[in-house]
Amino acid sequence: MAALSDRRRTIPPDNVDSKRKTAKSVSTNHRKTHRRVAGKTGLRPPLTRQESLRRNIGHVASETYLITGLAFTLLRYLGIGYRWITQLLALGCYAMLLMPGFLQVYLMLNDNLIVILDTWFFYTTCCFAVSPSTWGVAYYYFFSSNVKRSMVYGDQHRNRLDLYLPADIGEPKPVLIFVTGGAWIIGYKAWGALLGLQLAERDIIVACLDYRNFPQGTISDMVNDTSQGISFIINNIANYGGDPNRVYLMGQSAGAHISSCALLEQAARELEKGENVSWRISQIKAYFGLSGGYNLLDLVDHFHSRGLYRRIFLSIMEGEESLKEFSPEIKIQDPCLKSSIPHFPPVYLVHGTADYSIPSVASERYADALKKVGARAELILCEGKTHTDLFVQDPLRGGIDYLFEHAVAVIHNDDSDALAKDAFAPPRSRFVPEILLKLASKISPF
């Protein structure tokens, strides 16, 4: 494991012109790589056409019914409010500006018309959420045989995950578990599809977890679902070519908060139950927190001013009395967890300095709290980056992406062959013109 720095690191703004030239030079090879993604994995026989059709029709019907009901429930909570309606409109414009990049992925992969029904569900779901990542990866997500969609990991309706596999499963591969954001309300596992595609090209298996969103569930449900998903991956990933001894965890925005809570809750559970647990925090090799919020007491008023009203936020977090319980920055200082600290994975907290959805000070303070109790933590501040730059705009921008390369370097740190291969990997191609990315950043409600 790469040694963690005791000081914070600040990453300067990207050299956009140089990244554009590099990305353009490798565009053709990058597209050829995508066409090879759909090769056989040799893990399970494929579904027959009729089996796939039946499964997708059933999935579409059940999910559409659920989303419709949740939409009306959520609207009753939101009511008529200027802030959230303005944010919703801004989100729609943001999505339209980035759509050209998302649509390009359609041209890179195989076709399979049966799953068009599931694509229709994906469309209806994200029309409700107005997700900017909707169109980006839809083709890859539904049409690649290297994506195992909606694998069940628990008994709740949203207890599903998507698995992104490298084209060649030979030796056991490292695994990254990704917990998506979405303001605890509109998270969806498919939003990690571009990350899954890109990391699978570097021989890393990616598991994107779904969890119950509000109002289907509250924060304790989200944390429990995430913990159960982590347990499922650790105990079953060997069946899909993964190495259970090389499992990494990443959370983005609300997902960073939820996954951090899951780690701390698991630490407390281990102290209570001893050996009688389904997974251990020591089994996570490293944790990446992207643009997360870790002290809810400091964020209630901030979220209210941006449209996530106090009444709704407190409903999500199960009341004001629960804010400390679900604030990792506060919880990590609990003396009862002191004996668990040596088993904590190295923590990398990444945040943009121009993030207005969750200010970067949230990661700064959490990093300080972790170091104070003896945990290994490194703070990485990305100069001028917004809340979505690290996860949306930068991957669409192409070229050399610091966050992506840093995560790959940490995951491949103990594998000299993989590091050698990474050194010759071409930078990623550009999907969206720079002018659209800059406009999207200005319009983004995040």
Q: Catalytic residue numbers?
A: 253, 355, 387
How is the beta sheet containing 377-382 ordered, strand by strand?
9-11, 377-382, 347-352, 284-290, 242-252, 173-179, 205-209, 160-164, 147-152
Contact 327, 365 (CB under 8 A): no
Measured CA to CA, the distance from residue 152 to residue 210 in angstroms comes to 10
Contact 298, 362 (CB under 8 A): yes
Contact 187, 161 (CB under 8 A): no
Pairing of strands 160-164, 9-11: unpaired
Task: Please enumerate in sequence order all residues whose Cβ is within 8 A of that of 74, keeping only pairs 6 or more positions apart, or say none.
Answer: 185, 214, 215
Instruction: Identify the burial level of 386 via C-beta atoms within 10 angstroms of its C-beta, where 0-12 means exposed, 13-18 middle and 19 or more buried.
Output: buried
Pairing of strands 377-382, 9-11: parallel
Helix axes 82-104, 434-443, angle to 10 degrees: 160
Measured CA to CA, the distance from residue 156 to residue 287 in angstroms comes to 26
Contact 41, 241 (CB under 8 A): yes
Contact 366, 295 (CB under 8 A): yes
